């Protein structure tokens, strides 16, 4: 367990539907479950450890493999691993039990000898559908009522890093260097951009890959090897190149109201205006950030994690308040 703490990497996070718990996954198949009740008013134990909080417990999300992605539904924590997706009821997660409620197998095609990684998940609550971006270049859409595959979105030529949905539009980012837009209820692709072909964005020394992309009604933000940039959806033109040159690779890019949150291979996590002004610059525990999740209620929390055993907690989205650690208190001597 000690080696796991020293070399731990947190790949994904998800808040419980009530907002009082945080689940975080790592490269060893473990899921740590944290209570958020002490974030606003730290207990004496947390104060005594310089603001570091330990998990309530660990559960096994995927035996012997990465937990690459997590997503929450009102009833389940859904876990993406290698070759399969598992669902656990939140009440069992919170109580510390690894009682699996369902399992979905990701298709294995004849031209692949090994199961594919489920790198990212999105839940569509209106249709109760689950979107899974995978290492075999495909996006699979499953019906959570029965676990059946509804459709497959094909177009990428390398593995998928990120997917995000807004209304009926889905955006995906891939190692192939493209960002693709899809009509979510169909298999049709509605647009594609190649940031590495834009001279303002290209960083050939870092590669063409796109690590993260997100959309809202009017805008698309994305980055990876190419610089983090804002694109106007209708014109498909770059409007802002964000001045975050210390991000040598972008793995997180999200909209929050009229701002962009971004992180990756660099010392800081950023909060940016749409015109490129830096509103916040948060030093992180991780040398590379792979995950950032936020909620507004029942308490305002931004959780940032990556290549570290710590999850950084910001309650005002501007500076670090506390740290969560994957280590159980019984592991600390």
Q: From CA 213, how far away is CA 227, in angstroms rounded?
A: 12
What is the rounded average pLDDT of the residues 285-297?
Answer: 96
Confidence of residue 38 (pLDDT cuts 50, 70, 90): confident
Is the model's pLDDT at 333 over the cut of 50? no
Measured between alpha carbons, how far is 184 from 80 in angstroms, rounded to an integer?
20
Provide, rounded to the nearest whole percent, the portion of the chain with pLDDT above 70: 91
Give bridge partners of residue 123 from the DSSP assignment. Answer: 130
Q: Check whether the bond before 298 is cis (ω within 30° of 0).
A: yes
Which of 252, 200, 192, 191 minimizes the C-alpha distance to 226?
Answer: 200
**What is the token pair recorded at 90?**
């939140």
| Nearest residue to 80 (alpha-carbon basis) of 107, 120, 31 | 120
Give the per-residue pLDDT at 319: 84
Q: pLDDT tens digits, residue range 13-25?
A: 999 999 999 999 9
pLDDT, tens digit, for every residue of 217-268?
999 999 999 999 999 999 999 999 999 999 999 999 999 999 999 999 999 9
Residue 6: what pLDDT? Answer: 58
- Considering all CA atoms of the chain, what is the largest pairwise distance in Å, rounded to the nearest integer? 58
Domains of the chain: 168-283 (2.130.10.10)
What pLDDT sits at residue 1? 47
């Amino acid at each position: 367990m000690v080696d796991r703490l020293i070399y731990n990497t947190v790949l994904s996070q998800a808040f419980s539907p009530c907002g009082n718990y945080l689940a975080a996954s790592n490269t060893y198949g473990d899921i740590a479950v944290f209570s958020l009740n002490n974030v606003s008013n730290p207990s004496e134990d947390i104060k005594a450890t310089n603001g570091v909080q330990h998990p309530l417990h660990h559960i096994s999300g995927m035996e012997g493999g990465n937990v690459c992605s997590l997503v929450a539904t009102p009833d389940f924590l859904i876990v993406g691993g290698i070759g399969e997706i598992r669902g656990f009821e939140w009440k069992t997660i919170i109580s510390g039990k690894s009682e699996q409620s369902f399992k979905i197998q990701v298709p294995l095609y004849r031209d692949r000898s090994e199961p594919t990684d489920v790198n990212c998940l999105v839940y569509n609550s209106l249709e109760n559908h689950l979107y899974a971006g995978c290492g075999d270049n495909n996006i699979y859409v499953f019906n959570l009522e029965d676990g059946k595959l509804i459709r497959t979105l094909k177009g990428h030529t390398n593995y998928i890093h990120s997917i995000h949905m807004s209304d009926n539009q889905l955006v995906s980012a891939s190692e192939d260097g493209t960002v693709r837009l899809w009509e979510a209820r169909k298999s049709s692709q509605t647009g594609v951009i190649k940031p590495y072909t834009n001279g303002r964005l290209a960083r050939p020394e870092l590669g063409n890959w796109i690590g993260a992309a997100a959309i809202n009604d009017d805008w698309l933000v994305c980055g990876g090897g190419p610089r983090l940039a804002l694109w106007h959806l209708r014109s498909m033109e770059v409007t802002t190149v964000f001045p975050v040159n210390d991000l040598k690779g972008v793995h997180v890019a999200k909209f929050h109201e009229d701002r962009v949150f971004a992180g990756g291979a660099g010392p800081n996590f950023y909060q940016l205006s749409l015109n490129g002004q830096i509103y916040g610059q948060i030093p992180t525990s991780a040398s590379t950030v792979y995950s950032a999740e936020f909620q507004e209620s029942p308490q305002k929390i931004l959780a940032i994690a990556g290549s570290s055993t710590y999850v950084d907690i910001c309650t005002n989205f501007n500076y670090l308040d506390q740290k969560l650690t994957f280590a159980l208190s019984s592991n600390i001597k």
